[in-house]
C-alpha cells in the first residue's frame, strides 16, 4: 500500500500544489526531547526541483522546527488528500532554515507572495518520496484560507514582530537554540 518514488515528478508536484495544508515533523536528538508536528497553510509551499522543496515559514508562537533543523536537519513533510482520491505523500529529507541574513533567502523568497509575517524560508533536500493509500483519512471540503495570521502580523508591524520573535522564537520548548536575534 506504500510506493517509493524516485523523485517528485510532474504529477506529484501538481498534486502537491493543489493541497491547501501540509504537516511538518521534526525531532531533537535527545530521546526525551519533544517531537514536533506543525500544520502549515497559505500559499507557502513550492517544489523547486525533483528532490528539492521550500516553504515560507511564518512567525509563530514557537520555533520547534527551526531549533530541530538547526540541531540535526531531519524533517518529514506530509500531505493528505482531503478531497478526491485518497493519498498520503511523505517527503523525508534534510532541512535548512534560511533567515533574511542568509545569502539565499532573497532568491528563495521570490517564489512566494510577500508576507510581513515571514521569518524564514525552509529549504529541504528530499531524500525519500513515498505515497500511501490514505484510505482512513476523512474527506473534508476546503472552503477558504484563513487570514488571521496575516492580520495579526500586519497589526504588529515590523518592529513589534521583531520584538515578538526575540521574546518567543529564540529557543525551543526543550531549550535548543532556534532563531538568532537578527530576526
Q: Quick one: pLDDT at residue 34? A: 94
The answer to whether residue 44 sits within a structural domain is yes
Three-state SS string over the chain comes to CEEEECCCCHHHHHHHHCCCCEEEEECCCCCCCCCEEEEECCCCEEEEECCEEEEEEECCCCCHHHHHHHHCCEEEEEEECCCCCCCEEEEEEEEEEECCCCCCHHHHHCCCCCCCCEEEEEEEEEEEEEEECCCCCCCCCCCCCCCHHHHHHHHHHHHHHHHHHHHHCCECCCCCECCCCCC
Number of domains in the chain: 1
Residue 25 lies in a domain: yes
Q: Average pLDDT of 110-127? A: 97
The percent of residues in the chain predicted with pLDDT above 90, rounded, is 97
In a domain? residue 32: yes
* Contact between 97 and 57 (Cβ < 8 Å): yes
Range of the domain at 95: 2-168
Note if the pTM is more than 0.75. Answer: yes
Tell me: the pLDDT tens digits for 39-48?
999 999 999 9
Residue 164 belongs to some domain of the structure: yes
How would you classify residue 111: left for phi > 0, otherwise alpha for psi between -120 and 50, otherwise beta?
alpha
Whether 160 maps to a domain, the answer reads yes
Domain CATH code at residue 106: 2.30.110.10
Domain annotation covers residue 127: yes
21: left (phi > 0), else alpha (psi -120 to 50), else beta? beta
**Is 174 domain-assigned?**
no
- Would residue 93 count as lying in a domain? yes
Amino acid at each position: 500500500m506504500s510506493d517509493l518514488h524516485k523523485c517528485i515528478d510532474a504529477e506529484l508536484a501538481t498534486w502537491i500544489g493543489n493541497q491547501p495544508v501540509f504537516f511538518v515533523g521534526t525531532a531533537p536528538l535527545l530521546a526525551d526531547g519533544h517531537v514536533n508536528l506543525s500544520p502549515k497553510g497559505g500559499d507557502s509551499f513550492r517544489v523547486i526541483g525533483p528532490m528539492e522543496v521550500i516553504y515560507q515559514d511564518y512567525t509563530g508562537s514557537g520555533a520547534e522546527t527551526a531549533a530541530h533543523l538547526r540541531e540535526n536537519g531531519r524533517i518529514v513533510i506530509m500531505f493528505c488528500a482531503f478531497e478526491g482520491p485518497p493519498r498520503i505523500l511523505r517527503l523525508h529529507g534534510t532541512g535548512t532554515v534560511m533567515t533574511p541574513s542568509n545569502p539565499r533567502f532573497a532568491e528563495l523568497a521570490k517564489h512566494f507572495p510577500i508576507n510581513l509575517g515571514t521569518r524564514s524560508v525552509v529549504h529541504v533536500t528530499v531524500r525519500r518520496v513515498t505515497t500511501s493509500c490514505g484510505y482512513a483519512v476523512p474527506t473534508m471540503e476546503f472552503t477558504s484560507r484563513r487570514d488571521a495570521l496575516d492580520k495579526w502580523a500586519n497589526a504588529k508591524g515590523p518592529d513589534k514582530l521583531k520584538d515578538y520573535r526575540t521574546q518567543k522564537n529564540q529557543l525551543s520548548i526543550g531549550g535548543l537554540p532556534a532563531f538568532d536575534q537578527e530576526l
